Amino acid sequence: MSNLVVKVHPNVYLGIVDAYERRKKNDAADDAAMGTLLGYYERNAVRVTNCYSVPFHVAEKNGEYTQLDHSMNAKLLKMHKKGYPHEHVVGWFCTSPKLTEDTATFHEYYTLFAQSVKKVLVQPPVVVLSLDTTFSSKKSPSMSVRAYTNVPEWDPSDEETEMSPSKLFRHIKVVFETSPQEAAALGVIMQGTDSKQREIQIVPEAEVEDKMCEGVVKHMKQITEWLKMVKKYVNAEMKKDESKRDSAMGRRLMEIVRTAATQLSPEKLEAIIKTTMSDQMLLTYLAELSKTNATVVENLLQLNGLAVPKTD
């Protein structure tokens, strides 16, 4: 899997940061957070959908050993599987900004742990997700996120390779993946960045509809701005020679234009339209049937000499 991609959902990042904030703070090497990544495998991709932290200790003195609480890890996994039986161990995370010699030790443990909880003929790659929660990089103000997997083609007799963590692991691409529900939740959370107290205003029930309309208008304005940017980019590209145009970006924009309005494939959109038309025809039929029944009842009442109640 040379083109392996790690797709990470937002709740995983939130869980890792929360584990880091709840860590036992000290000046030792284990002043960090570490834990298990859960999810499932796709074709050339690892989808990470959940995580939990596990206590660990990094050896610093002679006579100490690098340890991870295996008993706690197994118990947490057992409890997690009761709520999410389809998720499996796909790797582990750490909040260290760089790879260390202990990274190989923990990775070997998680490789064996993943094999023990789910036995398969061919073991899929185990990934490690590294978050720089200390913002140690001066080049970028954002929190760096990196993913690695071990290199299977290494010679154990090569002492230099054994002592070099960078040669034991290879970097793989990380993609931020969200479902429509997660994207909506993130949009609400991001509203707190506009407040000095980092608070989100709770809308009264009587004003919900008005706020929803305001949200729709706001999103429509944003979409309009994006369309203007796309139009400007396309016009600039069309002025270039065909050989110098970015064909990959062109295909990407075409796909966005096709699905931006509904986020549905043409087949699903056609099915929804047919279903909607059928529903409308059924409603029309029921309305006509009700009208006919009302007329019949009115005529019967007139035949019996009963007064027909008038309706406004």
Q: Which residue has the higher pLDDT, 37 or 155?
A: 37
Q: Which residue has the higher pLDDT, 149 or 312?
A: 149
263's tokens? 């986020």
Q: Where residue 161 falls among pLDDT bands split at 50, 70, 90? A: very low
pTM score over 0.85:
no
The alpha carbon of residue 263 and the mean position of all alpha carbons in its chain are separated, in whole angstroms, by 16
pLDDT of residue 239: 87
pLDDT in tens, 213-264: 776 777 788 888 888 888 898 888 888 888 888 888 888 888 777 766 556 6
Q: Where residue 82 falls among pLDDT bands split at 50, 70, 90? A: very high
pLDDT of residue 156: 46
- Which three-class secondary structure string do you get for the chain? CCCCEEEECHHHHHHHHHHHHCCCCCCCCCCCCEEEEEEEEECCEEEEEEEEECCEECCCCCCCCCEECHHHHHHHHHHHHHHCCCCEEEEEEECCCCCCHHHHHHHHHHHHHHHHHCCCCCCCCCEEEEECCCCCCCCCCCCCEEEEEECCCCCCCCHHHHCCHHHHEEEEEEEECCCHHHHHHHHHHHHHHHCCCCCCCCCCHHHHHHHHHHHHHHHHHHHHHHHHHHHHHHHHHHCCCHHHCCHHHHHHHHHHHHHCCCCCCHHHHHHHHHHHHHHHHHHHHHHHHHHHHHHHHHHHHHHCCCCCCCCC
Q: Where residue 8 falls among pLDDT bands split at 50, 70, 90? A: very high
Residues in the chain: 312
pLDDT in tens, 203-216: 676 666 666 677 67
